[in-house]
Amino acid sequence: MPLKLDNEGELREAQAATFNIDSTSGWVLLNYVGPSTVHFYAGGDNFDDIKKQFEDDQIQYGLVRIGGIQEKGTLKTTSRDIFFCWIGPGVGIIEKGKKTALLGDAQSFLQPFHADITVLNKDKFDRETVLDRSSPLSGSHVID
């Protein structure tokens, strides 16, 4: 059964406002509202506000833009859009398995992005760690 998004219009409005060509920061977050239905839950501009929305008994999907990244060898700065999947410590193993199968559908709702990571520890979810783990050369794309 594919993942459904019950308020796609609200998500698209938030994405258009947050991820436009002039923005250098922002985020959107999806929550489950049924076994295979997600809902645009929250969004904003301040990176530090994201983890306040993480729920310990939920799997949540999001997209974050981090700007001000210095491009190697130039004076130019760029932004990176990163898809993340938060898996709360209270999520059971069977639920993790069922919802992992829906990850690709969630990613398709939040396209485009440069990298994807999994977040298991919200205390370590900060700008530097997200940039490090989303790097193609990081090895691990998990924040644990």
pLDDT in tens, 124-143: 999 999 999 999 888 899 99
Please give the pLDDT value at position 138. 87
pLDDT of residue 142: 96
Check: pTM over 0.85? Answer yes or no. Answer: yes
pLDDT tens digits, one per residue of 4-42? 999 999 999 999 999 988 899 999 999 999 999 999 999
Q: Which residues contact 133 (CB under 8 A, 6 or more apart)?
A: 117, 140, 141, 142, 143
Q: Which two tokens stand for residue 101?
A: 């199968």
Q: What is the pLDDT of residue 21?
A: 87
Cβ atoms of residues 143 and 119 within 8 Å: yes
Q: What is the pLDDT of residue 105?
A: 97
Domains defined for the chain, CATH in brackets: 4-137 (3.40.20.10)
Is the confidence at residue 54, as pLDDT, over 90?
yes
Instruction: Write out the E strands in the chain.
Output: 4-5, 25-34, 37-44, 59-70, 77-87, 115-119, 142-143
The mean pLDDT of 47-60, rounded to a whole number, is: 96
Specify the pLDDT at position 116. Answer: 96
Looking at residue 72, its pLDDT comes to 79
Q: What number is the average pLDDT over the span 57-61?
A: 97
Digit-coded pLDDT (tens) for 62-101: 999 999 888 778 888 889 999 999 999 999 999 999 998 9
